[in-house]
Structure 1
Amino acid sequence: MEIRHFEAADRQELRELFTRASEGSPVASLWSDPESEASIYLDPYLDLAPESVFVAVAGGKLVGYLTGCLDSSKFPSEAERIERAIRTYRLFLRPTPARFFGRAMVDTLAAAIRRQSTAGDFQDSRWPAHLHIAVAADARGTGAAAALMDRWFARLDENGSPGCHLQTQVENVRAVRFFTRMGFTPIGSAPLIPGMRYQDERVHQQAMVRPGEQM
């Protein structure tokens, strides 16, 4: 298993892995349009923070990746990236994405009526860095995910980061267990993620944080 920095030549294979690595998880597909989804959760990191993107290679193939950002305040928010994708790909004019966003609006309205919170960007200067990680199903259990995280932690320490956060789903039990083993702890409530469903059930966001070594 080799863990290395992302290279420009990896982009196409990484784009294919982006779709494959999420299979079977609550975020397997938000609205069944990999290109627009990658424009939110993959491409901005390759374009704006390539030095914080790491890949796991086994048998000459990419089997996992980690995208990150040292200072989330200097990176476009998830909400901004989603709004840009909606405009660029005209998602409201496509049947499947339109159904997703319609369901999201209904969920948001229902939560407002019940005075319940909904998921959003995490903002706390104590944990300014953030990450996303994904490993292909056939590489899970091989140590690829832990190796990617260790490489990311080394980058945080080298840059004196006070801490890191991530956002996962309560229903993604495997991921929560993994992040806990890697030193992350849950923080805050678990608000509804509007529009998202997993096994026909609503999905909830869980923020998790890990302090830097100097803390």
Structure 2
Amino acid sequence: MATQIRPFHPADLAGIYRLCLLTGEAGGDASGLYRNPDLLGHLYAGPYPVADPSLTFVVADDEGIAGYVVGTADSLGFARWLDEHWWPTLRAQYPRVPDPGDGSQDHVLIDRMHAWSAAPEPQYDEFPAHLHIDLHPRLQGQGWGRRLIATLADALRERGVAGLHLGVDERNTGAIAFYAKVGFATYARREWGRVLTLPV
């Protein structure tokens, strides 16, 4: 099949989770960091197509899911949805655990899951939507990331959303450069990286 962008289908979820892990360490493979390969997806990919599948799009090729963008039009509403529908089951399944001291980072993600805040962030007023995007190395540098963001932006514009934001690890210099090329600007710097914004 020809490589294409298409709307999310439920069968894509496993491929999205795999790609989330493959690109989860500042753009590199995070497989060696986690005993449980699903945790990153539970936090940064899985809930979006469950909450609002019409704002998830994938790049599919002969090998499967090669890229995706997941998003929400209302970050505060989404955070409240997580508290009501997503986190309770996962928090029960994954109680907090101490650092095992073996270099694995599962405990970090589990702590994040339990501490996730539904409080509004300053950027929500002007840039209420947010996204996560990942692209397999085999398709990077070919314009697919730009097209995924444009596809999501079109969907948000149809809903009357004014702007979107995302967070990026400061170590992921390639992603920061890419986001600058497609029009994102630095809104704020945090201890984990920076918040970027884009008018829709």
Following the alignment from structure 2 to structure 1, what is the Cα–Cα distance between the partners of residues 133 and 8?
Answer: 13
Aligned partner of 1:14 among 13, 16, 31: 16
Following the alignment from structure 1 to structure 2, what is the Cα–Cα distance between the partners of residues 163 and 27?
Answer: 30
Deviation at 1:49, TM superposition (A): 1.4
Aligned partner of 2:48 among 45, 50, 60: 45
Deviation at 1:46, TM superposition (A): 2.1
Equivalent residue, structure 1, for 2:115: none
Structure 1 residues 83 and 34, CA gap change in structure 2 (3 angstroms): farther
Which TM-score applies when normalising by structure 1? 0.73
Report the residue type matching 2:61 in the other structure.
Answer: A
Structure 1 residues 136 and 71, CA gap change in structure 2 (3 angstroms): same
Is 1:211 the counterpart of 2:196? The answer is no
Structure 1 residues 24 and 34, CA gap change in structure 2 (3 angstroms): same
RMSD over equivalenced CA pairs, Å: 3.2
**CA deviation digits over 1:63-102, x for unaligned, max 9?**
000000001111026x95778745422241673347647x
Equivalent residue, structure 1, for 2:158: 158
Equivalent residue, structure 2, for 1:133: 133
Q: Is the 8 A contact 1:56 1:64 kept in 2?
A: yes
Deviation at 1:12, TM superposition (A): 2.1
Equivalent residue, structure 1, for 2:146: 146
Following the alignment from structure 2 to structure 1, what is the Cα–Cα distance between the partners of residues 106 and 133?
Answer: 27
Equivalent residue, structure 2, for 1:168: 168
Note the residue ranges of structure 1 that are not aligned, 5 or more in a row. 105-119, 193-203
Note the residue ranges of structure 2 that are not aligned, 5 or more in a row. 113-118
Percent of pairs with identical residues: 25
Which TM-score applies when normalising by structure 2? 0.78
| Secondary structure, aligned partner of 1:76 | helix
